[in-house]
């Protein structure tokens, strides 16, 4: 894994490389942007790049440019002991700090973990202790704090102290999909790099070219994941179109059942895509349908709902997703969903 494997984000990577080239590395960065788009992967690869002893530095404009990065030259080697140790998170100078609950929980980008997620003060104190020493073998010590918004108030205060007097040759990278939850003082200490979700067409192209998906599947995954590549990749091997259509069919015949919260979130998002398509067709908005593989069916069925009814259904799904995050009783949610969304 190296910069050339990261899809999109060329502007952000180029800006980081410029920082390094011009000797203007910040002691703290904030990588912000939607979930599952590659922020953490970029952070790890940046740690690799700045520490790779055999990376090639070339004058700007040298080599071939692709994905905004000098592919052949401006990248870590991926093969040296330093690169390999970072890949396996075994490097003594590169640390990934995550919420306590996440360490044991199976990470799923489709659903939220049910356990409480917090980065605790003990983790920040440990980081502070480690940052006090000079790097063992790397040029720079790197601490990547994933989902930094999950820091407790105490942890955040402790981090602020460290950021106010940053140790030499040490870089902190805060990764967050919800920077509004970070304190203003922490934000003021970080150089912000903003990441964006991939554009629909860009992502479709990546899924087709790099992952050999057919066009219909690539289209659905790009829309459904809203440009979040990691989320699309998580479900790319499923027979997603068939699964989706059978779920929607079940739903039409009132056979809604939620196994758990994760399942409910997944299904509600599928239904959302369905109602969104129906509404756009009714509004004659010449939409890019998400369920393009079911266009004929959608056209035939669009008149079973009125526009206010569709808006009502969409509103209900957003509310359901909101309450799902706040531990609504699943049985209650299932029966409410049946009542609100299914036509009798």
The one segment of 63-71, 83-91, 113-121, 136-144 that binds Zn ion by CB under 5 A: 83-91
Contact 153, 52 (CB under 8 A): no
Nearer to Zn ion, 138 or 206 (CB): 138
The one segment of 44-52, 96-104, 242-250, 259-267 that binds Zn ion by CB under 5 A: 44-52
Please report, in angstroms and rounded to a whole number, the separation of the first and last CA atoms in the chain.
52
Nearer to Zn ion, 6 or 158 (CB): 6
Contact 29, 172 (CB under 8 A): yes
CA torsion sign for 15, 19, 21, 27 is: negative
The one segment of 78-86, 133-141, 293-301, 332-340 that binds Zn ion by CB under 5 A: 78-86
Each residue 134-153 as x (binds Zn ion by CB under 5 A) or -, in order, gives --------------------
Q: What string of DSSP letters covers 270-339?
A: HHHHHHHHHHHHHTT-----SSGGGHHHHHHHGGGS-HHHHHHHHHHHHHHHHHHHTT--HHHHHHHHHH
The one segment of 4-12, 52-60, 280-288, 309-317 that binds Zn ion by CB under 5 A: 52-60
Applying CB under 5 A, among 17, 36, 52, 270 the residue interacting with Zn ion is 52
Applying CB under 5 A, among 80, 208, 252, 292 the residue interacting with Zn ion is 80
Q: Could you give the 3-state DSSP secondary structure of residue 145?
A: strand
d(CA 134, CA 93): 9
The one segment of 26-34, 77-85, 94-102, 146-154 that binds Zn ion by CB under 5 A: 77-85
Q: Could you give the 3-state DSSP secondary structure of residue 131?
A: helix
Nearer to Zn ion, 85 or 276 (CB): 85
Nearer to Zn ion, 26 or 77 (CB): 77
What backbone torsions phi and psi does residue 111 show, to the nearest 5 degrees? -135, 160
Applying CB under 5 A, among 1, 77, 101, 118 the residue interacting with Zn ion is 77
Minimal distance, residue 142 CB to Zn ion, in Å: 14
Minimal distance, residue 84 CB to Zn ion, in Å: 8
d(CA 31, CA 147): 10
Applying CB under 5 A, among 2, 12, 70, 76 the residue interacting with Zn ion is 76
Q: What string of DSSP letters covers 44-79?
A: HHHHHHHH-TTPPP--TT-S-EETTEETTTSS--S-
d(CA 287, CA 43): 36
Nearer to Zn ion, 77 or 252 (CB): 77
Nearer to Zn ion, 76 or 123 (CB): 76
Minimal distance, residue 80 CB to Zn ion, in Å: 3
Burial of 341 (0-12, 13-18, 19+ CB in 10 A): buried
CA dihedral 34, 39, 41, 42 (to 10 degrees): 150
Minimal distance, residue 51 CB to Zn ion, in Å: 8
Total residues contacting Zn ion by CB under 5 A comes to 5
Each residue 3-42 as x (binds Zn ion by CB under 5 A) or -, in order, gives ----------------------------------------
Nearer to Zn ion, 47 or 272 (CB): 47
Nearer to Zn ion, 35 or 87 (CB): 87
By the rule CB under 5 A, 1 interacts with Zn ion: no
| Chain positions contacting Zn ion, by CB under 5 A | 52, 76-77, 80, 83
């Amino acid at each position: 894994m190296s910069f050339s494997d990261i899809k999109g984000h060329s502007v952000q990577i180029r800006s980081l490389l410029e920082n390094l080239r011009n000797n203007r590395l910040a002691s703290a960065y904030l990588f912000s942007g939607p979930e599952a788009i590659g922020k953490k992967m970029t952070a790890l690869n940046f740690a690799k790049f700045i520490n790779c002893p055999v990376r090639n530095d070339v004058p700007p404009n040298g080599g071939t440019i692709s994905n905004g990065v000098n592919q052949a030259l401006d990248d870590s080697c991926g093969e040296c002991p330093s690169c390999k140790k970072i890949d396996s998170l075994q490097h003594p100078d590169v640390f990934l700090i995550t919420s306590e609950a996440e360490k044991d929980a199976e990470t799923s980008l489709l659903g939220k973990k049910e356990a409480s997620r917090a980065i605790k003060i003990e983790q920040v104190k440990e980081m502070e202790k480690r940052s006090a020493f000079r790097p063992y073998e790397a040029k720079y010590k790197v601490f990547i704090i994933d989902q930094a918004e999950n820091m407790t108030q105490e942890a955040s205060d402790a981090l602020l102290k460290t950021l106010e007097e940053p140790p030499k040759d040490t870089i902190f990278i805060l990764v967050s999909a919800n920077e509004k939850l970070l304190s203003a003082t922490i934000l003021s200490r970080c150089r912000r790099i903003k990441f964006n979700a991939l554009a629909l067409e860009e992502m479709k192209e990546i899924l087709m070219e790099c992952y050999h998906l057919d066009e219909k599947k690539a289209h659905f995954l790009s829309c459904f994941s809203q440009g979040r590549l990691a989320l699309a990749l998580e479900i790319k091997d499923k027979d997603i179109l068939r699964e989706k259509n059978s779920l929607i069919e079940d739903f039409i015949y009132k056979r809604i059942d939620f196994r758990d919260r994760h399942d409910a979130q997944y299904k509600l998002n599928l239904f959302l895509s369905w109602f969104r398509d129906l509404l756009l067709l009714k509004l004659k908005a010449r939409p890019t349908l998400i369920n393009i593989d079911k266009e004929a069916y959608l056209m035939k069925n669009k008149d079973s709902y009125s526009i206010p009814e569709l808006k009502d259904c969409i509103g209900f799904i957003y509310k359901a997703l909101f309450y799902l995050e706040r531990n609504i009783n699943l049985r209650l949610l299932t029966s409410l969903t049946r009542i609100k969304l299914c036509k009798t």
